[in-house]
Amino acid sequence: MTTRRASTAWWILLLVAVLSVFPVATAVISQADAVDDPLGTCWAADLPAGVVPHDNTLRSVEVTTFPVGAHCDWEAGDVQTGWPLTIAALVGSAACLVATAFALRVGPAARRVVSALPLVAVVVIWIVLSQNTLFVIID
């Protein structure tokens, strides 16, 4: 009975770890979208007071790692996008770390290798996020 409970606990922890990778993956996809169309990202964000859509007051755009999004520099003010995604990615990373730490305590060595895979994926995604930046100056 104890072995069955340990096996069930391991599967649940593995499921939590795998599911917690998705918010981090969503953040990297969002950042790739911001790199693909930085101007569109700024126009889709909340505009600062005094900015009229498509009025050529955007000075520069920087795709940022933390928060995962874009920093839009307007003549009327600055806007930073991506805070909700960054918070979700951080919560997902923390959940993956905790679930992996508990899953590594259960079962034989083969299960430990499988338990570590979601955490490895999260680390790789954060490395990709940190390397993917862009700075655009608008004339």
14 Rama sector, left if φ>0, alpha if ψ -120 to 50, beta otherwise: alpha
Write down the pLDDT at residue 139.
61
Write down the pLDDT at residue 99.
93
Write down the pLDDT at residue 42.
83
Write down the pLDDT at residue 39.
83
Q: Domain segments of the chain: what residues?
A: 2-137
Write down the pLDDT at residue 98.
94
H or E element, residue 34:
helix 21-36
List CB contacts of 16: < 8 A, sequence separation 6 or more: 95, 96, 99
> What is the residue-level pLDDT of the chain in tens, covering all 139 positions?
467 777 888 889 999 999 999 999 999 998 888 888 888 888 888 888 777 766 778 888 888 888 888 888 888 888 888 899 999 999 999 999 999 998 888 777 778 888 899 999 999 999 988 887 777 777 6
Question: Does the predicted TM-score (pTM) go above 0.75?
Answer: yes
Write down the pLDDT at residue 74.
83
